[in-house]
Amino acid sequence: MVECKALQQKVQDLSSSVDTPLTEGREAMAALEEEIAVFKARAADLNNAENLFSLPVTAFTILDKLEGDVKQQGQIFALFADHDAMVKEWASQLWAKVDFQVGAPKGS
């Protein structure tokens, strides 16, 4: 459980940091997803051992919450990455060749 709390602190630190560069944030999210998967596998092993010896099963609800939080943060980083890619694409486009009437309402 102590390790889960440390992992929770990592997630909290990353999600509350506003100065994390986009690429570093995405890499950190991927690393956290892997770390959570490892923790979930260890929790499953522990639960299997507890079942084997008829012990009360330990609930690791914090891992489910962390997994959801990391997925949400990952979606935010993905959104910003898509936005960044779109801005770079637009910045390299020749605006003289853009048809601004595409998608405009009829009669304009």
Q: One digit per residue, pLDDT tens: the chain, 108 residues?
A: 788 888 888 888 887 777 878 888 888 889 999 999 999 999 999 999 999 999 999 999 999 999 999 999 889 888 988 999 999 988 888 877 777 777 656 655
- The parent domain of residue 34 ranges over 23-87
What's the pLDDT at 104? Answer: 59
- Position 8 in a domain: no
Comparing CA positions, the residue from 28, 21, 13, 34 lying closest to residue 80 is 21
Write out the two tokens for 7.
């992992």
Confidence (pLDDT) at 12: 86
Report if residue 6 sits inside a domain.
Answer: no
Q: Identify whether 96 is part of a domain.
A: no
What global pTM score does this model have? Answer: 0.74
